[in-house]
Amino acid sequence: MNSIKHLGELIKKNKLQLFGQPPARNKSKSKLQSLESDCGLFSRMYIACQSRDGDLNEFFTHENQRCPPSLSQDGKLRHGKKSDLLDCLTSCVECITDAPESNVIILDGAVLVNMLKPVACKTFNDYAD
């Protein structure tokens, strides 16, 4: 198998699993196992709270999971975009599109530095002047 191949030749695609990737699992099985483990953990914590004369009202005020199910899926936080929240927020708030009249424009020092183009400047002193 000592064959010489050209550097630009295409490599055949293989379906080998990488070490960093966990094996693909059935979503419904993993979700069911997660719910069962949560139920088991919750029942053990509840029994421990009762046997140690704990306050049950305080017990129910705390989360029993690392990530709440409403924000996570299979133990990983769900990802989203800020722009997805825009529809929800605009329906709750009255949007004002008219800008008030202004007589003054305030420019920060950093804005002025970014507005100036140092075309003819060769030193920082020339740029500052």
Q: What is the pLDDT of residues 22-62, one digit of tens each?
A: 666 655 666 777 777 777 877 888 888 888 878 878 877 77
b/e code 80-93 from CB counts within 10 Å (16+ = b) = eeeeeeeeeeeeee
Q: What is the pLDDT of residue 1?
A: 58
Q: What is the pLDDT of residue 40?
A: 82
Task: Give the mean model confidence (pLDDT) for residues 111-127.
Answer: 80
Q: What is the pLDDT of residue 74?
A: 67
* Rounded Cα gap, residues 109 and 111, in angstroms: 5
Per-residue pLDDT reduced to its tens digit, 60-78? 777 766 777 777 776 678 7
Least reliable range by pLDDT among 19-23, 87-91, 118-122: 19-23
Q: What is the pLDDT of residue 109?
A: 81
Give residues with Cβ within 8 angstroms of 59, minimum separation 6.
45, 46, 49
* Averaged pLDDT score across all residues of the chain: 77
Backbone angles phi, psi at 57, to 5 degrees: -65, -40
Task: Please list the residues that pair with 77 across neighbouring strands.
Answer: 72
Backbone angles phi, psi at 22, to 5 degrees: -75, 155
Contact assessment for residue 35 and residue 41, using Cβ atoms and an 8 Å cutoff: no
Task: Give the mean model confidence (pLDDT) for residues 73-88.
Answer: 78
- The structure tokens 């804005």 sit at 111
Task: Please list the residues that pair with 76 across neighbouring strands.
Answer: 73
What amino acid occupies position 15? K
Q: What is the pLDDT of residue 106?
A: 85
